[in-house]
Amino acid sequence: MGTTVDERVAAGREIVESRVAEFADLFGRVESDWKYDGSRVTRADLAISKALESEFSRRFPEDQFLSEETDPGAGPTLLSTRYAWLVDPIDGTNNFARGIPACAISVALLENGIPIYGIIYDHMSRSLIWGGSGYGVSVNGRPAGLSNESPSLQSIVGAQHCEGDEREQDDRALQRRFKIRNLGSSAIQLGYVAVGWLDGVIAHRVNTWDIAAGVALLKESGGSIDYFDTNPFPVVDFDVTRPAFAYMAGTPEVLSAMGAAIGRGKG
């Protein structure tokens, strides 16, 4: 990678790490409000987003900053720079507000709309997970990678929601094939696949900011991902009101077994 990416990777790690104390201080101690789409938001989401934007913009004024907490009335933002930062200041806000530690800061570096590096602060394990193309993947500085478990009834797959219709059928099919966990944070669940703590993940309603960091981590670890509809990357324009999408990911073997279990995808 060129020096420009090296500089961004180093700065990104430092900037995310600098927000951990604030995240921990506000954890479980803030009142909630509700956004236009019914999702929870707290002043911590807004404060951390603003602080991240300020620091990234100061260090890399030529880069765009894209956050889940962007004003929904602003409309789509066309990506017009080579590099952009795609941020979820608190992934798992419901958990964060209620004092449940499965919540995270998630930051992805995009190059031409593609996630190339991801940084996740996982409050549940108090770990910093980071990595990307050509940089490896690590947890608190220790190298990490995919699980080497073969698909079995003991494989652990992260899930998102108990949905209705065919989504519920997917969940039930996977419950018969694997052990299922719903941690309440899409960033954490995909990140855990990349570092081998989960074997796979399926989610029916996610957004680019939920998984962009995890996508960069997963690709570097050698994992596989299958979007049920259209691949959301590269991001061409950013709009927080865009409909959510579905995907599943895991080790190549587990992803194949998941696809076979639900009768779709690459299985």
User: Rounded to an integer, what distance in angstroms lies between the CA atom of residue 137 and that of residue 216?
Assistant: 9
Tokens standing for 193?
């696949």
In a domain, 149, yes or no: no
Query: Mean pLDDT in runs of 10 for the chain (267 residues)?
Result: 85 98 93 68 90 97 94 88 97 94 98 98 98 98 97 94 68 92 96 98 95 98 95 96 94 97 70
In a domain, 150, yes or no: no
The reply to whether 135 and 36 lie within a common domain is yes
Q: How far is CA 37 from CA 98, 135, 159, 202, in A?
A: 19, 37, 21, 22
The reply to whether 191 and 258 lie within a common domain is yes
Q: Report the relative pairing of strands 200-206 and 156-158 from DSSP bridges.
A: parallel
Q: pLDDT digits over 190-237, tens only?
A: 999 999 999 999 999 999 999 999 999 999 999 999 999 899 999 999
Q: How far is CA 258 from CA 147, 165, 167, in A?
A: 15, 18, 13
**Where does a domain end: 120, 143, 166?**
143
In a domain, 148, yes or no: no
| Other CB atoms within 10 A of residue 140 CB | 12
Domain span at 92: 3-143
The reply to whether 163 and 138 lie within a common domain is no
The reply to whether 18 and 134 lie within a common domain is yes
Instruction: Give the chain's domain count.
Output: 2
Rg (CA), the chain: 17
Q: Check: pTM over 0.85? Answer yes or no.
A: yes
pLDDT at 35: 65
CATH classification at residue 96: 3.30.540.10
The reply to whether 222 and 103 lie within a common domain is no
